[in-house]
Structure 1
Amino acid sequence: MVTTSKLFCPKCGKETEAEGLCNACFAEKYVVFQVPQTLDVKICAKCPSYKIGELWVETSLDNYEDLAKKAAAKTVRAALSVSKEVDHPQITVVPEFTGPYVLVIHVTVTGSIEGRPVSTSADVEGRIRKETCDICSRMAGGYYEAVIQIRAEGRLPTKQEVDRCLKIIENVFVRASKAGDRLAFITDVFPLPEGADLYVGSTTCARQASRTIIDEYGGSLIESPKLVGAVGGKGVYRVTFAVRLPEIVAGDIVRMRNQVVLVEKLGKRTSGVDLTTGQNTSAPEDLKLEKIANRSEATKVVIVSEEGDSVQLLDPETYQAVTIRRPAFLKAGPGDEVPVIKTKDGLFILPGGGRGKE
C-alpha cells in the first residue's frame, strides 16, 4: 500500500495541493495593484467633457450620469498602478452612483504571477467636481484665432450668397468638432451690408471653410496673419481670411472668349450655355470674363417664323424682324414668346420660356 505525504503551507500551515504557499498566502505576498481610496472626478459644467490630469477630453454623451460614469472610469484607470509582476493583467472598472455627486467605483484586476492566477478587487470613492473646461472658458471669453471676411468683388453679395457661405462654414466646423478639433467653434458672427465677418476658434478650420466657399463660388482668398503675442518663445498669430466672391454670378451674361454665355455655375470652372449655339461650355476661373447683362433684364418677344436652323424674331426696340441661329435648347416655335437679351453683339434667346411645339 502506497501512502502519499501531505503538503502544508509553510506560512499558515494549511494543507495545500502543491508545494509552497497556499493560494491565500501567495496572494498576500504580492500587491497586485494600487489605487487611491478617493478620487476627484472632474467634468465640465457646460459641455460633455471630462479632465484627466491636465487634459480635457470631449465626448458626445448627452446626459450627466453617462458622462460622470465615463469620467470616473477613465480617472480610476489613469490613477491605477498594476504591479510589474502581474502577467497579462485584465482590468475591470464599474462605476455606480451612491449619491448625486458621489460614485463607488468597483475595480478588479486579474492576471497571473509565476504562472499562478491572481485576482484582486477594491472599491474607490469618486467625488464629482464640476469645472469649466479650457474651450468653454475660451468661448465665454470671446477667444478667436482667425477672422473670415465674406465679401464680393465689385458688388455687394446677395443675402442668399451670404447665407450659403455661413452654412458652409458651419458645416465645416461641425464636422471638425465631431472629428475631435476642440477649437472648432464660432465665437461671433457680424452681418454687414458688404457681407459678414466671423470670428472663429480654429485657424485650420477657417482655412478649410474659406477654401470650400471658393471651390463652390469661385473668387479669391487672401490670408493675412498678424502677430499678437508670444507663448514659450513662439509667435502667436491671428489670421484674417479675406474671401472675395467673384463679380460674375449665376444668371449673368458674359463674353467668354468669343462666345456670349449665360453663366449657370461658378467654382473652379465657370460653366454655362453658349447663347449662339445652345451648347454647354466652360472656362477656368482665372479667365477674364466681361459682363454684358443679366437674365433679369430679359424681354419677352414673339417668334415670327422659323426655317431650318434659323428663327425670326421681333426686335424688342425697333420691332423689326431679325433672323438668328436657332440655339439647341430652343423648343418653342412661331407665335411663342421667348426671353431675349439685346446686346451690341446682337439678339440672343435665353433658355426657358415658350410653350414648345406640340
Structure 2
Amino acid sequence: MAMTSGLFCPKCGKETEAEGLCTACFREEHVLFEVPQVLEVKICAKCPSYKVGEQWIDTKLETYEDLVKKATIKIVDLAVKMNKEAESPRIKIFPEFINPNVLRVRVQAEAYVLGRHMSDEKEVEVRVRKETCDICSRIAGGYYEGIIQVRAQNRFPTKKEMGKALKIIYDVVKKAEKAGDRLAFVTDEFDLPEGVDVYMGSVNCSRQASRAIVDDFGGTVLESPKLVGAKDGKDLYRVTFAVRIPEIVAGDIVNMHGKVVLVEKVGKRISGTELSSGHSTSAPEDVKLEKLSNRSEAMSTVLVSEEGNSVQILDPVTYEPMTIKKPIFLTRSPGDEIWVVKINNDVFLLPGGNRGKE
C-alpha cells in the first residue's frame, strides 16, 4: 500500500511533497518573468549602430547579421520583467533569423522565488526597422562644430606638409571615435593654395587635432568661437582653429646664433647641424631665424685633400681650390663627390650623400 505525505495543496487539493502550493499552482501564482510577444529593433541604415530608447549605441560589428543579433539581445534583455521575488536570476537569449527583417527569439530564465527553483521559456518575435542615426543624419547634412585652417607663416605650405597635417587630423579622429566621441568625424575638407580647411563634427576633436599638428610641426594655434544659435537654453558655438606652422622647415639652412645651420627638426624647438663644425644646435621655435638657403639648392663638387682639421675642395662655381674647416660629420675621402651650399662667398659641406640626404 502506497504511503502518502499527508500534505495537500491549499488551492487545488492535490497531494504535495512539501507544505504549501503544489508546483503547478505555485507557477500560476508566481510567474517567473514576462516579456512582450513582439518587439522592435531599430538599427542605422548607414553605420553599425542601434537605438536603445532615445540613444544610439555605436558598435564595431562588420556584418548586418551580427549588428541585428547584438541589438536584439540588448532590446529583449531590457524588455524582460523578472518576478520581484526572484533571486539569483539567470537569463539566456537565443535569436534566430526567420528572414532578414524578422527574428524568432527564445528567452530562457531561471531563478529562486520564495526559496523554490523556477525555470521558464518564452518566445518573442523581433522585427527590424532601419532608420538613420543622429550622427549619420548630421554627416549627411554637413554638420560641423569646428574648422581647422592649416596655413604656413609667410609662405605656402608644401603638399607633403598638408598630407602630413591631414594624416594627423584623421589619426586624432580615429582615436576620439574609439574613445566614444560620436561627433568625431570629418564633414568636409578643402584644399587651397594657401593651405587646407577641414570641417569637423566635434569641437573637442578639432582642438585635439590642432594641438597635435602644432606638437609635430611647431607653430601656433588660435581659437575663434562664433555664436550660431541656442539649444535647450545653451548657446551654440562654432570654433575656427587657425593653425600656423612655422616659416622654417626641415632642410632649410638658416642663420642661428650667428652660425650657418642646416635645420633637421622643427617643433617646440628648432634643431639642426652647424655646418662649419658639424655640431648639433637648437633654438626655441619663437626665435626669428634668417633663411639663407635650402638643402635642395646644394651643388656637387670634389673633395681634393684632407689635412688635420681642414679640407681642400673645389669651389662649385669657379672650380678654384679652396680650404675650409673640416666638419665632424665628414666621412668622404679625397677624390669623392661631396655636396655643398654656397652662401655669399662661403662654401659649407652638407652631411649625408646626395644633396645632403642620407
TM-score per shorter chain, which class? over 0.9
Does structure 2 conserve the Cα–Cα contact (< 8 Å) formed by 1:52 and 1:78? Answer: no
Q: Distance in 2 between matches of 1:353 and 1:289?
A: 26
Tell me what 1:54 maps to: 54
- 1:348 is displaced (CA, Å) by 1.2
- 1:319 is displaced (CA, Å) by 4.5
- 1:133 is displaced (CA, Å) by 0.5
Q: Distance in 2 between matches of 1:78 and 1:305?
A: 85
- Output aligned runs, 1:80-229, within 5 Å: 80-229=80-229
- Output aligned runs, 1:1-358, within 5 Å: 5-344=5-344, 346-353=346-353
Quick one: percent identity of the two aligned structures?
Answer: 62
* TM-aligned CA distance change 1:259 to 1:84, over 3 Å: farther
Deviations 1:97-141 (A, max 9, x none): 122211122122211122211222221111111111101111111
Does structure 1 conserve the Cα–Cα contact (< 8 Å) formed by 2:5 and 2:15? Answer: no
Q: Distance in 2 between matches of 1:353 and 1:78?
A: 68
**Structure 2 alignment gaps of length 5 or more:** none
- 1:50 is displaced (CA, Å) by 0.6
- TM-score (structure 1 length as normaliser): 0.93
- 1:317 is displaced (CA, Å) by 4.4
Q: Distance in 1 between matches of 2:193 and 2:50?
A: 42
Does structure 2 conserve the Cα–Cα contact (< 8 Å) formed by 1:218 and 1:267? Answer: yes
Does structure 1 conserve the Cα–Cα contact (< 8 Å) formed by 2:5 and 2:16? Answer: no
- 1:345 is displaced (CA, Å) by 8.2
Supply the AA of the counterpart residue of 1:59: T
Q: Distance in 2 between matches of 1:225 and 1:17?
A: 77
Q: Distance in 2 between matches of 1:82 and 1:62?
A: 33
Over the residues paired in the alignment, what is the CA RMSD in angstroms?
A: 1.8
Deviations 1:129-168 (A, max 9, x none): 1111101111111111111111111111111111111111
What secondary structure is seen at the aligned counterpart in 2 of 1:25? helix
How many correspondences in the alignment? 352
Supply the AA of the counterpart residue of 1:307: E
Does structure 2 conserve the Cα–Cα contact (< 8 Å) formed by 1:43 and 1:49? Answer: yes
Q: Distance in 1 between matches of 2:77 and 2:191?
A: 48
Supply the AA of the counterpart residue of 1:274: E
Supply the AA of the counterpart residue of 1:45: A
Q: Distance in 2 between matches of 1:228 and 1:5?
A: 80
Supply the AA of the counterpart residue of 1:252: D
Q: Distance in 2 between matches of 1:41 and 1:78?
A: 12
**Structure 1 alignment gaps of length 5 or more:** none
Supply the AA of the counterpart residue of 2:313: L
- 1:272 is displaced (CA, Å) by 1.4
Supply the AA of the counterpart residue of 2:192: L
Q: Distance in 1 between matches of 2:202 and 2:5?
A: 76
Does structure 2 conserve the Cα–Cα contact (< 8 Å) formed by 1:210 and 1:243? Answer: yes
What secondary structure is seen at the aligned counterpart in 1 of 2:181? coil
Does structure 2 conserve the Cα–Cα contact (< 8 Å) formed by 1:263 and 1:271? Answer: yes
Does structure 1 conserve the Cα–Cα contact (< 8 Å) formed by 2:104 and 2:124? Answer: yes
Deviations 1:222-277 (A, max 9, x none): 11111111111111111111111110011101122233211111122222111122
* TM-aligned CA distance change 1:333 to 1:5, over 3 Å: closer
Supply the AA of the counterpart residue of 1:160: K
